[in-house]
Structure 1
Amino acid sequence: MSSKPRTTSFLPGPPVDRTTWEGFHRWYQTREDFIPAPVLTAEQFARLSKRGRYLHNLHRLATHSSLPIQDTPMSERVAHAVKARVEEGAFSHKAGTRGGIMVNGDGAQGKTETVCEAMALFAEEWLSINNYLNPDAMPGTRDLVAPVVYVRCPVKATPISTCQRILDFYGEDYKGMRLEDLVRTVKTVIVEHATKALVIDDITRLKLHREADQDVLDLIREMMSMPGTLVLIGVGIPTSGLLREGCRDPKTREWVYPPVKDRGRSPNDHAASQHERRFQVVDLDPFRYTTGKGMEAWIAHLTGLEGNIRLLNDTKGMLTSGDMPEYLHKRTAGVVGVLEKLLQRGLRIAIEDKSERLTKELLNQITITPGDMPDLDAGSGEQPKIPLHEPEEKKPRGRNTVYDDGGPDAAASAG
């Protein structure tokens, strides 16, 4: 192993904001560009210079902070349903309303990444078959083709702020516009920029107990009349008020809703029943550990994670042998986002204390809290239910220096 200093190509560039056209476009073009740290044995690592070891540790940190999103049986089913729904609308020559789709699930289940990945694949295919041009370009409009629009509802969202977020994606000016002007402008830019899918994340931040209830439902109806497929992502959609109280059929796993009663029916009830007929609702569930099939899927997921861990000890079986799978499921309730946070924290400790191995004893020192997921809004029910865990105390140790830079002298000696 050469002692030549490693490059810092693993350092992240400017943060990617998928809620703008430029950001979403850059994200799906570069989402697979990251190169993880090489797999080294303890002997190979020891032969590196001091600065080489320092850089390799930072590269490992970047690798563990960027664990790839793995397909699961649940996410594959959701991704297929979303992409199929969007393709049905995009390739339809009819002028009628496109059917929408709602992706429902608890927080940290991977709903956003699952939908964005499906939409990235659709966008790549759509642009390719149209030679990266707008097939319906209109004279006088900007040469911007956006087959997919991705926006997030703001906390305490309203119909006005939701429309503004959509226009922000395109970079459109909406200063001084009223709600009806905003909706009309949204419809116009969707046509002008050949948008085939409008993804609205965190849709359940729209609260239907406010006076703007009917405005919200009217907004969704207006969006469904646009020449694109509406994809809504949220937590607790079937009971949020966007749809009437529903239950899931145990055989088909689809959401079903009781008929609207003739007596006492409100405008909201009528509007909700229209949404139910036009939207497919799919759930992204956590891993279950109660059946043989569920256990096999969980272990397969853990096996995939083992292949992306960069510790100096052999990682094969580190997450999948003995009772480790059951332990990890108990700690995370099968929620992929919680599992990722637990492993990232544990991997950092394993590198710092030089044990270079994940064990139950090490993981027992860690407690994952909602504070580890600050982008999820507690008021909207987005934070997952994390199993309670009391961390085990460990003797305090001196300040860790594993991520310290050796400075110019070390860099000179590494040459």
Structure 2
Amino acid sequence: MHREDDQDTLDLIRDLMSLNVTLVLIGVNIPGSGLLREGRHDPRSGQLVFPPVKRGRSYNDEAATQTERRFDMVNLDPFHYDTPAGITAWIAHLNGIEKQLRLFRSTPRLLTRNTMPEYLFRRTGGIVGLLKRLIEDGCTKAVESGKENLTIGLLDELTINLGNVPDRDAAAGEVPALKSEADSAQGQQRKRGRNTVFDDRGGRPAADA
């Protein structure tokens, strides 16, 4: 909530609360963002300062202000791949995405055939935002390379990177750390090691010449 746009969003939500309408809002880490909490203006920094979340007796345990008490928070977990129902939901989601893709050489069931569902889940952990970024980057690479198709081999060449997304603020938690990608890269570096063939170990001592 340290950006002007964030504070404008909070003001807009408060204005809409006076209307007889139902709002369905979607976001990431809403409790931690301070969007629904009351804040005071800090003249030194020019930003809103929010108190820590307090738990009380209400339908929403995290409601601490009038703004929060007007909303029911529904937490949506990532997709799961450990039950038949979870797998079915994941594949249905992929099926909906692949119907929207337009690649000239795409094959039938582009994202749901063979081991592609398992691969995409392993890369993204079932998180929709990471899946969206991986597929977008994959399609971009497929078009630029002329392959016009998504394959596991092509996606293997990509690293999920949220740091170069415009308007994302790392300080506000909008750029999550991708441990799986980072750990994988570090593991490859450790495994590869350094080539020491051309190291200069110095000349032979004169006594050994």
- TM category (shorter chain) comes to 0.5 to 0.7
- Structure 2 counterpart of 1:205, one-letter code: S
1:364 corresponds in structure 2 to 156
> How many residue pairs end up in the alignment?
167
The aligned residue for residue 216 of structure 1 is 39
**Contact persistence 1:204–1:380 (CA under 8 A):** no
Match of 2:121?
329
- Deviation readout 1:223-259 (Å, 9 max, x if unpaired): xxxxxxxxxxxxxxxxx933439xxxxxxxx9768xx
1:242 corresponds in structure 2 to 53
SS in 2 for 1:370: coil
Equivalent residues of 2:55, 2:64 under 8 A apart:
yes
For 1:308 and 1:165, locate their aligned partners in 2 and report how far apart those are by CA, in whole Å. 30
Matched, 1:308 2:95: no
**CA-to-aligned-CA distance 1:359-381 (integer Å, 9 cap, x gap):** 11111111112314343333333
In structure 2, give the amino acid aligned to 1:244. R
Gaps of at least 5 residues in structure 2 are 41-50, 189-209
What amino acid does structure 2 have at the position aligned with 1:367?
A: T
Query: Structure 1 residues 276 and 349, CA, compared in 2 at 3 Å: closer, same or farther?
Result: closer
Partner of 1:344: 136
**What's the secondary structure of 2:73's corresponding residue?**
strand
Q: Is the 8 A contact 2:142 2:149 kept in 1?
A: yes
Give the counterpart of 1:204 among 13, 20, 32: 32
How does 1:157-176 map onto structure 2 within 5 Å? 162=7, 165=9
Q: Deviations over 1:339-378 (max 9, x none)?
A: 1111111112212222222111111111112314343333
Q: Please report the TM-score for the alignment, with normalisation by the length of structure 2.
A: 0.60
Counterpart in the other structure of 1:122: none
Kept in 2, the 8 Å contact 1:156–1:206? The answer is: no
CA distance, structure 1, for counterparts of residue 4 and residue 126 of structure 2? 29
Q: 1:284 aligns with which of 76, 97, 108?
A: 76
Q: Is the contact between residue 60 and residue 69 of structure 2 (CA under 8 Å) also seen in structure 1?
A: no
Structure 1 residue 280: deviation in Å?
2.7
Larger RCO (alpha carbons 8 Å, 6+ apart):
1
CA distance in 2, matches of 1:359, 1:280: 41
Q: CA deviation at 1:304?
A: 1.4
The alpha-carbon deviation at position 322 of structure 1 amounts to 1.5
Asked whether the equivalents of residues 155 and 377 of structure 1 are also in contact (C-alpha less than 8 Å), the reply is: no
* 2: CA distance, partners of 1:200 / 1:359: 31
| Residues 277, 349 of structure 1: alpha-carbon distance in 2 compared, 3 angstrom cutoff | closer
In structure 2, what residue type is equivalent to 1:383? V
Separation in 1, partners of 2:117, 2:9 = 41
Matches within 5 A, 1:225-304: 241-244=52-55, 272=64, 279-304=71-96
What does residue 48 of structure 2 align with?
none
Structure 1 residues 195 and 365: alpha-carbon distance in aligned structure 2, compared to 1, 3 A threshold: same
User: Any conservation in 1 of the 2:163–2:175 contact (CA below 8 Å)?
Assistant: no
Report the Cα offset of residue 327 of structure 1: 0.7
Task: From 332, 354, 360, give the equivalent of 2:146.
Answer: 354
The aligned amino acid for 2:133 is: K
The percentage of counterpart residues that share the same residue type is 37
CA–CA separation in structure 2 for the residues paired with 1:206 and 1:156: 14
Q: Is the alpha carbon distance of 1:380 and 1:195 closer, same or farther for their aligned partners in structure 2, counting shifts above 3 Å?
A: farther
Distance 2:66 2:10 in 1: 23
Distance 1:190 1:317 in 2: 44
Contact 2:142 2:150 in 1 (8 A): yes
For the structure 1 residues 304 and 197, does the alpha-carbon distance in structure 2 shift closer, same or farther, using more than 3 Å as the test? closer
C-alpha distance in 1 between matches for 2:67 and 2:133: 36
> Using a 3 Å threshold, how does the CA distance of structure 1 residues 315 and 206 change in structure 2: closer, same or farther?
same
In 2, distance between residues paired with 1:376 and 1:326?
29
Shift of 1:278: 6.3
Cα distance, 1:384 vs structure 2: 3.4
| Counterpart secondary structure, 2:135 | helix
The whole-number CA distance in structure 2 between the counterparts of 1:370 and 1:314 is 26
Counterpart of 1:206 in structure 2: which amino acid? G
Partner of 2:112: 320
Conservation of the 8 A alpha-carbon contact between 1:306 and 1:315? no
Report which of the two has the higher share of strand. 1
- Give the CA deviation at 1:303: 1.2
What does residue 5 of structure 1 align with?
Answer: none
